[in-house]
Amino acid sequence: MEHHDDSTPQPVATPVPARDGAPPLPTPVRASLGDAQAGVRRAEATRTTVELEVDGTSWTASVGGMSRSGATLASAPTLLLRFDRTGGGDESPREAWVVGRSLADLTDLQVELAFGRSRPAPEAWARKPLFPETGSRSGKEG
């Protein structure tokens, strides 16, 4: 008989029902693991911004863009988090890529860690000519 520590909850799994009198199928591993995020505070599903304070400065995090991490079906959804100083100020906006489908998928700790590895956001992309040296010439010479 196994001895289990009472402080550690044991996963409860229900066997997959068998078909046509066959023995029951094995329980999928994911079903026996339970909630991997148990104990982690999850955000409301509708949140679009997160307020955080870093070194006495208040910042607002929001989603600046979305992508996928690769070209296969197994690629992970990614978010470009944008951090703006709350109330304006001299600090430039910052950006960081994180894995997730929405800001609501992230815990406050994940947002804070993303800020820690964020970089200053690039200035707005200006449309540049493909061949800048040809911009001043007309199509005809002579």
pLDDT tens digit string along 24-70? Answer: 666 666 565 555 544 444 444 567 899 999 888 899 999 998 888 77
Query: Does residue 13 carry a pLDDT above 80?
Result: no
Distance, CA of 91 to CA of 110 (rounded, Å): 22
- Which residue do the tokens 């950006």 mark? 95
One-letter amino acid of 5:
D
Tokens representing 85 are: 């100083």
Q: Which of 8-22, 43-57, 90-104, 115-129 has the least mean pLDDT?
A: 8-22
Q: Summarize the chain as % helix, strand, coil (round to 5).
A: 15, 25, 60
Q: Which of 117, 44, 115, 125 is nearest to 86 (CA)?
A: 115
User: Are the beta carbons of 82 and 103 closer than 8 angstroms?
Assistant: no
Torsion angle of alpha carbons 112, 115, 117, 120, nearest 10°?
Answer: 180
Check residue 40 and give its pLDDT.
Answer: 44
More confident residue, 1 or 13: 13
pTM: 0.54
At 109, which helix (H) or strand (E)?
A: helix 108-116
